Every structure is written in structure tokens, then in C-alpha cells.
Amino acid sequence: MKAVVVGTGAGALASALRLRAMGLDVDVFEACPDPGGRARTFNFHGHSFDAGPTVITAPWLFDELFALFGERRPEHVEFLPCDPWYRLSYSDGSSLDLVPDPARQKDEISRLCPADAYFYPSFLKHSEELYRVGYEQLGAADFTSFWSMIKAAPHLVRLGGFTSLWRHTAKYFRDPRVRQAFSLQPLLVGGNPLNTTAIYGLIHAMERKGGIWFAKGGTSKLIEALVSLAKRHGVRFHFDSTVNGFETDSIKRLVAVRYRHGDAQYSIPCDLGVWGGDPQVGYSTLGSERLSLFEKMRLKTVASSMGLYVLYFKTSRRYPDVKHHTIVLSERWESLLKEIFGGKKLPPDPSLYLHRPVATDPSVALDDGELFYVLAPVPHLGNFSSWETAEGAFRAKVLSILEERMLPGLSDSLVFAEAVDPRYFKKALLSPLGAGFSIAPTLSQSAWFRFHNRADKVKNLYFCGAGVHPGGGLPGVVTSAKVVESLVRRDYPGVCIPPRVEDRVPQGALA
């Protein structure tokens, strides 16, 4: 059987690997000249930067991909533990570290609010239950039928899934700084903590279970390792090749994929396809005549995640006291989130995520300074699009906040700075409205209500990635490949080879 996979993001690569391990003949098409999607690599002034993801959670998901072919992930890419996981810097000068050990975490919370430290074990216990049900039971579940949603509803009700994570944290913590620390996780997958379901509290338990890691040399090394693994086992890659059409037969079965390479148009026959790009683009490529009523409604009502402004820069001096993952929080919280997700202008006081990889990985050290990137959540292009005139002032504001709160002397030591904004996500990554994480993970866009992992009418076209179940972030998109695998195995019984025993890597284990 011939499979065509569209895209080379982590979800698409995982899908290609799983299909190949099942015995399918796999071709992968990528519109960009290099792999990775949001996790691709930038080169500025002779220096390499991870374009996107810098945090690896659920490392067993990557161990499984190598184990599918009898290989061990650590022999190809090393994961380095991060400690602390994150440092949160508040506008009042206080800080809070999120750390691997629960006892240390209680001590950290106690510095800000002893009463909140007392309730942390209860919060963690509930997060672990959210993880057990929300991820272990439902994360790789098939939500292509409404009945699957009905069966999951009692679990969602019991675990408080119909309230927001921000309100959920109020049950355990009274200090707003502590509440922020344990409700900001949805921002890592494109969600607003004010309206993202409390089910996403499972992220903290996932971090606690598997740790937080950084790929030695950068996330790009993980992407390179996955591409090399696929090539070693016969997957073919086609870069600078934009898929722009599907061909179906009289019963709406996918029979070929059309793509453009250079100035020429081509078509490749296939028995099934996996779309790893944004599902909105996939549906538009499929055409309205091949969409179900639900799919048409989803396209009309979809709410996108926020946009991202990312500044990649080099300094001539070192900042040894700055942690790897530092979150510089604005004085505002709720009103700032409302501006980011629904406002019509850039926030004057953005919260920032600062990435300093040398804090964890000495292999990226420089002789003449350090490399960073800083990320600011911003409105998507549907709410704000005047980047041509606004980018310079916003860049100055971001650098000013960093200099004032994290990187003293930055203006004098800045060697260069290069930025991307939502325009890049729209043009290069084909993300509608330049959204950083595809669609927002609200309750009304979760499970069955999210874009499905298989087309409703074209039954041999599957979807993986941030826009489909279970959602964004590296664990979500890689897990979506497991959903695709289960659907393909069910749809083609007796065709695919059984899974390898090695695929069942114990969760949390580093093979």
C-alpha cells in the first residue's frame, strides 16, 4: 500500500514512521526546503536557532518511534534534563521556579504563600487524575464519531472539565502568582487559561511524570534524527513540494495527491493520505463538495490560537544567572490575556518567554557571547495585521523589558536581532491568520468538536498535528500520529503488519 504524508512537523514525521513500520510504502511532501514545520531551524548571521519548540515532555513518545524499528533513541539524539523546568519572574520582583521534585516544589510555593504550598499535593493529585483520564485514556482515543464524545462526557464532568483552568486553580491557590504558575500551561499549546478547559491541568502531571528535557544541540537535532530514521527505513522525502489538490474516485476515495514543485505540477497515486498541515488548509484543499456538514460548520466557526512574535538574538556578553526557560510576566494577567486572544492592538506590556539554551546544553556555548530567543504571545492576523508599521516599536518594547528585568546592559551588548511574526506563520507555514498553534484548545474545540483525525467523507484521508485531536504541543502532535495509526489499522485489517513489541515502551522510561 502507498501512503502520502503531507508536512514534516513532528506529528507528520511520527505518522510517516508509524505507517512505514506498519509496512506501507511512504512518501512525504514538504512545502519548505527543510523539515520540521514549526520546529524547523533558522540560520542568522552564521548561527543556528531553533525556530519553535524548545521543551520536550513525554520523552517516551520519541523512544517509541525509534523502538518501532528496533533502534534506541539515545543512540541518535540525547535528551538533557532541565532543572529548574521554568523560572517565573513577576513584575513585583519575586520569582517562582517550577522544579522536578514535588518536595522542592512545595518549598518554592511556600516562599510566596505557605497556605498555597499546603494545598499543592491536592492540586497535584487532581492533575494526575486528569492525566490518567485525559491523556492515558482519551489522548489517543478515536473521536471521529459523536458517540465517542458521549462516552467521554461523564469523565469530563467528574474531573471539572467544563470549567476553565484559571478558575480550577482558584480551588487550591489564593496567591495570584501561584495561580498563574499552574494555569499558564495552555499558553504552551495555544490556549487562553481563562477559557481553556481544566482538563489541560494534565500538562503539569505529564511534566511531573516524564520530566522536561532539551535535545542536545537543539530541537533541530531531534527533527534531524527522526528524518534520518525515516530515510534509513525507506521513507522518501520531497522538499519544496506544495500539495495543492486531492484526486478522488466516484465513491470519494482518495486515489492521488497533486503537488507543485518549482514551476511544474505533478500527481502521485496513493492508497491513503495523511495531512499534517493545518486542517483548515487541508479542508480547503479537499473542496467543499467532499466535506461533511460538520466539517463545513467547523470551518465557519473555528477560533484560532493566538499569534507569536519571536526575536532571535545574540549578545556579546554572558548572562550566567538566567535560567534556560524563563517566563517574564507582565503586571497584568487577565486583561492582558483578553488583549492577546481578542484584542485589536499589540499589548504595550507583553509577557515574554526567554530561551537561553546554554543553561542546559554547554555544547551550544560560544566564545564571544550567547544566543537567545524571546517569544511574545500576540493577537493573530485576524485581530491585528499592521506589522509593517508596528514591528519596530514592538521589538524595542520587548528588548526594553528584557534589559530592565532579565538582561542588564542588553542594548550595549546586542550583536544582532532577527524577528518573525504572524506573517511568517501564514506565509511560510500556511497557518490561517498566522496562528502559532492552529486552532484554540477550548472545550467547544476539543475531542469530537475538534477537527477529526479522519475526513468524514473521504475515508482514507487522515489528519495529524496541532489542529486535530488531541491538540498542540510536541506531546499532542506526536500522539495524534498514534490516533492515525489506530484508525488505519482498523480501516485496513489484515493489511498492516502487527506492531512491534518494542513499541510498547514503558511510559516515562528513557530507552
- Domains in the chain, please, with CATH? 2-80+215-303+441-503 (3.50.50.60), 104-210 (no CATH), 306-427 (3.30.70)
- Per residue in 7-36, pLDDT (tens digit) is 999 999 999 999 999 999 999 999 999 999
Lowest mean per-residue pLDDT among 162-166, 343-347, 373-377, 445-449: 445-449
Of the listed ranges 115-129, 224-238, 429-443, 486-500, the one predicted with least confidence: 486-500
Say what the pLDDT of residue 507 is.
40
In sequence order, what E strands does 14-53 have? 25-29, 41-44, 47-50
> Mean per-residue pLDDT for 94-108?
97
Give the bridge partners for 371, in sequence order: 314
Confidence of residue 445 (pLDDT cuts 50, 70, 90): confident
Cβ atoms of 337 and 179 within 8 Å: the answer is no
> Binning pLDDT at 50, 70 and 90, where does residue 501 land?
very low
d(CA 112, CA 19): 49
Are the beta carbons of 430 and 278 closer than 8 angstroms?
Answer: yes
> From CA 275, how far away is CA 120, in angstroms rounded?
41
**CB crowding 27-66: b at 16 or more within 10 Å, else e:** bbbbbbebbbbbbbbbeeeebebbbbbbbbbbbbbbbbbb
Look up residue 447 and give its three cell numbers: 475531542
Q: Give residue 275's pLDDT.
A: 98
**20, 235 contact by CB (below 8 A):** yes
- Rounded mean pLDDT of 201-218? 95
ω before 102 within 30° of 0 (cis)?
no
Give residue 500's pLDDT. 58
Q: What is the pLDDT of residues 280-315, one digit of tens each?
A: 999 999 999 999 999 999 999 999 999 999 999 999
Distance CA 402, CA 326 (A): 11
pLDDT at 37 over 60: yes
Q: Which amino acid is at 506?
A: P
Q: Evaluate whether 26 touches 13 at the Cβ level (below 8 Å).
A: no
Query: pTM for the whole thing?
Result: 0.94
Residue 145 pLDDT level (bands cut at 50, 70, 90): confident
Cα distance between residue 66 and residue 479, in whole Å? 15
The pLDDT score that the predictor gives to residue 510 is: 35
Helices 114-131 and 202-210 cross at an angle (nearest 10°) of 90
Q: Does 379 sit behind a cis peptide bond, omega within 30 degrees of 0 on the bond before it?
A: no
Taking residue 491's Cβ as centre, other Cβ atoms within 10 Å add up to 14
pLDDT at 508 over 50: no
Angstrom distance (rounded) from CA 215 to CA 388: 34
Which pLDDT score is estimated for 271?
A: 97
Running DSSP on this structure, what letter comes out for residue 16? Answer: H
Average pLDDT, the chain: 93
User: Which strands sit side by side in the sheet containing 461-463, from one edge to the other?
Assistant: 236-238, 25-29, 2-6, 272-275, 461-463
Q: Are 89 and 328 in contact (CB under 8 A)?
A: yes
Q: What is the pLDDT of residues 389-407, one digit of tens each?
A: 999 999 999 999 999 999 9
Has residue 509 got a pLDDT over 50?
no
d(CA 87, CA 90): 10
